[in-house]
Amino acid sequence: MSLFITFEGPEGSGKTTQILLLQRALQEAGRTVVCTREPGGTPIGEQIREVLHAMGNRAMLPITEALLYSAARAQHVGEVIRPALERGEIVVSDRYAHSTLAYQGDGHGLDRQMLHQLGQWATGGLAPDLVIYLDLDVIEGLRRKRQDVSGEWNRMDEQDVAFHQAVRAGYLRMVESDPERWLVVDAAQPIEVIHQQIWTRIRRLCKGCGLGEQEGDEGWQPSSS
């Protein structure tokens, strides 16, 4: 049975590392996993990503950002996510529609109702089964991101601290309003502890979809054990 999992979090929260660990664990459990990202995930989406994140595009308006992120998402859903889910695979996406609500809504102050409608239109209403939110202090996240020489430092990272604080607060409000769908993990913990917390939740989620834990069965083991 298919499963759609998304990762969200402020800058430097370690999503990439955790997605790699989760991918490995799921594959070791015999599942086909599609790991993808936003903005991007398709050739067209990756081109849109370049426009969105180019340091030279400082004149870009928040509304343009919202439309471009959503355009990339529409392509991503149509070309990658839905087909994979229809094949019964597990899709893990580094960011999805909640990023637009947090960054363009809470960060830039765009109308959340409009953003919600735009998101519904772009995705055809496709919502993730589970959103994993890696929560981290904003200053610490930006510090980590600056230190990561292999990672991308983009136009969005250049926003001021107040913007990033508003984004984080927005995420925490979304968690509160739909706690069943979200798993909040403290991203200041060691990498393996975070992975275990994510893995435990996914095994629990998979109980009902023919994966993982059965009665009297230990189910999947984390990749490290």
- Interaction site with ligand TMP (CB under 6 A): 11, 38-39, 69, 95, 99-100, 103-104, 152, 154, 156-157
- Judged by beta carbon, residue 76 or residue 195, the one nearer ligand TMP is 76
The answer to whether residues 183 and 133 touch, using CB atoms and an 8 Å cutoff, is yes
Residue that has been written with the tokens 């370049």 in this structure: 50
Give ∠ CA 94-44-67 in degrees, rounded to 5.
Answer: 75
What is the rounded CA–CA span in Å between residue 128 and residue 184? 15
Q: How far is the CB of 10 from ligand TMP (least distance, A)?
A: 8
| In the complex, minimum distance from the CB of residue 210 to ligand TMP, in angstroms, rounded to a whole number | 30
How far apart, in whole angstroms, are the C-alpha atoms of residue 59 and residue 88?
A: 42
Residue 54, both tokens: 């180019």
Contact 49, 65 (CB under 8 A): no
Question: In the bound complex, what is the minimum distance in angstroms from residue 195's beta carbon to ligand TMP?
Answer: 19
CB contact at 8 A, 8 and 131: yes
Long-range Cβ pairs for the range 48-54 (8 Å, 24+)? 48/72, 48/75, 52/154, 52/155, 52/156, 53/152, 53/154, 53/155, 53/156, 54/155
| Least Cβ distance, residue 78 to ligand TMP (angstroms) | 16
For ligand TMP, which is the closer residue by CB, 61 or 209? 61
Q: For ligand TMP, give the closer residue by CB, 141 or 212.
A: 141
Q: Indicate the residue among 31 and 172 with the shorter CB distance to ligand TMP.
A: 172
Q: How far is the CB of 220 from ligand TMP (least distance, A)?
A: 27
CA distances from 172 to 21, 126, 136, 161 (A): 24, 21, 11, 17
Nearer to ligand TMP, 103 or 199 (CB): 103
Nearer to ligand TMP, 11 or 89 (CB): 11
Minimum distance of ligand TMP from residue 212's CB (angstroms): 28
Distance in angstroms (rounded) separating the CA atoms of residues 191 and 17:
8
